[in-house]
Amino acid sequence: MTRPRGRPHRNRAPASRERILDAALELLDTGGIEGFTMRALADRLQVNPMTIYHHFGDRDGLVDALSEHVYAEVSAPASGAFLERMRSLLQAYHERVLAHPGLTLLIFSQPAVFPRQAQRITDEIKLLLAEAGLPSAMSRLWLNILVDFTHGAAIASAMGDRSSSATRDAKEDYDKTLSVLLKGLNT
Amino acid sequence: MTRPRGRPHRNRAPASRERILDAALELLDTGGIEGFTMRALADRLQVNPMTIYHHFGDRDGLVDALSEHVYAEVSAPASGAFLERMRSLLQAYHERVLAHPGLTLLIFSQPAVFPRQAQRITDEIKLLLAEAGLPSAMSRLWLNILVDFTHGAAIASAMGDRSSSATRDAKEDYDKTLSVLLKGLNT
DNA sequence: ACCTGAACACCGTTCAAGT
DNA sequence: ACCTGAACACCGTTCAAGT
State which residues between 123 and 182 of chain B bring their CB within 7 Å of strand D. none
Ranges of beta strands (E only) in B29-174 are none
In whole angstroms, what is the distance from residue B141 CA to residue A169 CA? 13
For residue A2, is it within any domain? Answer: no
Give B119-166 pLDDT, tens digit per residue: 999 999 999 999 999 999 999 999 999 999 999 999 998 887 556 777
R_g of chain A, CA atoms, integer Å: 19
Count how many domains chain B has: 2
Tell me the CATH number at A53. 1.10.10.60
Tell me the CATH number at A117. 1.10.357.10
If asked whether residues B31 and B87 sit together in one domain, one would say no
Which contacts (CB < 8 Å, 24+ apart) does range A142-145 have?
A142/A185, A142/B180, A144/B153, A144/B156, A144/B173, A144/B174, A144/B177, A145/A181, A145/A184, A145/B149, A145/B177, A145/B180, A145/B181
Residue B58 phi/psi, 5° resolution? -155, -170
In whole angstroms, what is the distance from residue A50 CA to residue B107 CA? 31
In whole angstroms, what is the distance from residue B157 CA to residue B170 CA? 7
Nearest CB neighbour to A152, from listed B141, B152, B180: B152
In whole angstroms, what is the distance from residue A48 CA to residue A41 CA? 10
Give A103-137 pLDDT, tens digit per residue: 999 999 998 899 999 999 999 999 999 999 999 99
Chain B residue with minimum CA distance to A177? B141
Give A166-187 pLDDT, tens digit per residue: 777 889 999 999 999 999 998 7
Output DSSP code: residue B8. P
Beta carbons of B180 and A149 less than 8 Å apart? no
R_g of chain B, CA atoms, integer Å: 19
C-alpha distance from A119 to closest chain B C-alpha (Å): 13
Beta carbons of B108 and A111 less than 8 Å apart? no
* B32: containing domain: 14-57
Q: Are A138 and B129 in contact (CB under 8 A)?
A: no
Give B3-60 pLDDT, tens digit per residue: 555 555 444 456 789 999 999 999 999 999 999 999 999 999 999 999 999 999 999 9
If asked whether residues B126 and B169 sit together in one domain, one would say yes
